[in-house]
Amino acid sequence: MAAEQSKQKVIFDHDGGVDDLLSLMLLLTMQHVELLAVTITPADCYLSDATVSTQKILAMFGQDHIPIAQGRLHGINAFPAEWKAQPKICNAFPDMLTQKFNSDSLSAKAADELIAELLMQHDKVSLLMTGPCSNLVAAIEYLPAILPAIEQLIWMGGAVDVPGNVAMHNHNKSAEWNAYWDPIASAKLFTYGIEIKLISLDATNCLPVNLSFLSDLAAQKGNHVSHLAGQFWATTINSIPSYEFTYFMWDVLATSVLALPSSAIKFEDVELNVLISEPNAGQTYRCQGSGQWAKVATWVDKQQVLDYVLEQFKRDF
Ligand code: AGV
Ligand code: CA
């Protein structure tokens, strides 16, 4: 019990992409984390696929008592259908097909309701979000009293001093997709005074998935988790030939922030605001006086992140 109390409490909200699933695996390797729940945003995925993947990964790590809740909110700007379908293949790998899971762990509550409920019951909770922020924003709008329970929010989202990755007819590429999906929620997120660590494209751009890293991971494929992670990452190598050609370790970097030493990542305090109208919807920009201060990751020790991921995936569960 005493050991449990000293653990870092985390609620993880993801949106079912391949790197969201890898992030869940990485999170489950972290001995210092007590995972309170996993909630799913139906953004860069199909909700049913993402739910099964989540249930099976939790079961694989012997953690299938952890509650899961599905999001009921949909952003204004849908993800391309090809991207949403991409993680489907993860559920088709033999290790995933044969994995049993606990269907009781799927909560009858919606994601925003479960987040609100848990933040009423716990304090000093870290939120890790690797998709859009709509579930959290809805929870706060419904119950602002939960705000003091949030110790920090680590969010993979935004692009501050670098171009975004939204390439749509109504956009000028100034935004990152998680912030663009629901730009109104993204703008609200920076009004509550939450301690936000923003893992934006500024930091993730240095971590493309490449064969050198995958070779290092393959060298430890005798380990079950490394083997499955290698298969998941392999599906991103022929990154969907629409809009963009490189798959990055976006969410995996954000997840690593829970464990990386301060020497491995630099944050800059930036006053930020979010635009909500096209062609800039979801753009996270530096402002003066009208925004909220956030810690934006500006530099990461790339090798330290990769070494950490390799080390964690080497462990047996
Ligand atoms: O913008 C990065 C976010 C991350 O949370 N997602 C993918 C990651 O899960 C959207 C995204 C950007 N480019 C993509 C994305 C691509 N080429 N394929 C799939 N998703
Ligand atoms: Ca994601």
pLDDT for 315: 82
* Closest protein CA for atom 14 of ligand 1: 247
The encoded tokens of residue 284 equal 């996270």
Q: Which atom of ligand 1 is nearest to the CA of 239?
A: 17
Residue 2 pLDDT exceeds 80 = no
Nearest CA to 247 out of 211, 223, 283, 218 is that of 211
Q: Is the CB of 176 under 6 A from ligand 1?
A: yes
Interval between CA 244 and ligand 1 midpoint (Å): 9
* Closest protein CA for atom 10 of ligand 1: 177
Interval between CA 81 and ligand 1 midpoint (Å): 12
The percentage of the chain sitting over the pLDDT mark of 90, rounded to a whole number, equals 92
The encoded tokens of residue 283 equal 């753009």
Q: What is the mean pLDDT of the chain?
A: 95
Taking CB atoms within 8 Å and a gap of at least 24, the contacts of 120-125 are: 120/145, 120/146, 120/149, 122/9, 122/36, 122/149, 123/148, 123/149, 123/151, 124/9, 124/149, 124/151, 125/9, 125/10, 125/11, 125/36, 125/149, 125/150, 125/151
Report strand pairing: 150-156 vs 106-110.
Answer: unpaired
**DSSP string across the chain:** -HHHHTSEEEEEEE---HHHHHHHHHHHT-TTEEEEEEEE-SSSS-HHHHHHHHHHHHHHTT-TTS-EEE-----SSPPPHHHHHGGGGGGGSHHHHT----GGGEEEEEHHHHHHHHHHH-SSEEEEESS-SHHHHHHHHH-GGGGGGEEEEEEE---SSS--S---TT--S-S-HHHHHSHHHHHHHTTS---EEEE-HHHHTT-B--HHHHHHHHTTTTSHHHHHHHHHHHTTTT--TTT-S--B-HHHHHHHTTT--GGGEEEEEEEEEE--STTSTT-EEE-SSSSEEEEEEEEE-HHHHHHHHHHHHTS--
Q: Is the CB of 240 under 6 A from ligand 1?
A: yes
Is residue 3 very low, low, confident or very high in pLDDT (cuts 50, 70, 90)? low
Q: Is the CB of 77 under 6 A from ligand 1?
A: no
Could you tell me how far CA 79 lies from the centroid of its own chain?
16
- Each residue's pLDDT tens digit, 66-123: 999 999 999 999 999 999 999 999 999 999 999 999 899 999 999 999 999 999 999 9
Interval between CA 120 and ligand 1 midpoint (Å): 31
Residue 158 CA to residue 14 CA, distance in Å, equals: 15
* Closest protein CA for atom 20 of ligand 1: 83
Contact indicator for 194, 147 with CB cutoff of 8 Å:
yes
CA distances from 298 to 6, 121, 161, 269 (A): 30, 34, 9, 10
Q: Is the CB of 208 under 6 A from ligand 1?
A: no
Interval between CA 239 and ligand 2 midpoint (Å): 15
Residue 1 pLDDT exceeds 60 = no
pTM of the predicted structure, to 2 decimals: 0.96
Q: Is the CB of 250 under 6 A from ligand 1?
A: yes
Residue 164 CA to residue 180 CA, distance in Å, equals: 10
Q: Is the CB of 49 under 6 A from ligand 1?
A: no
Interval between CA 167 and ligand 2 midpoint (Å): 17
* Closest protein CA for atom 19 of ligand 1: 83
Interval between CA 279 and ligand 2 midpoint (Å): 22
Residue 67 CA to residue 104 CA, distance in Å, equals: 9
* Closest protein CA for atom 11 of ligand 1: 177
Q: Is the CB of 168 under 6 A from ligand 1?
A: no
- Each residue's pLDDT tens digit, 29-59: 999 999 999 999 999 999 999 999 999 999 9
pLDDT for 316: 75
What is the identity of the amino acid at 173? K
- Hey, which of 177, 205, 235, 255 would you mutate to test ligand 1's pocket, going by the most ligand atoms within 8 Å of its Cβ? 177
Interval between CA 173 and ligand 1 midpoint (Å): 14
Is residue 244 very low, low, confident or very high in pLDDT (cuts 50, 70, 90)? low
* Closest protein CA for atom 9 of ligand 1: 17
- Each residue's pLDDT tens digit, 127-153: 999 999 999 999 999 999 999 999 999
Q: Is the CB of 13 under 6 A from ligand 1?
A: no
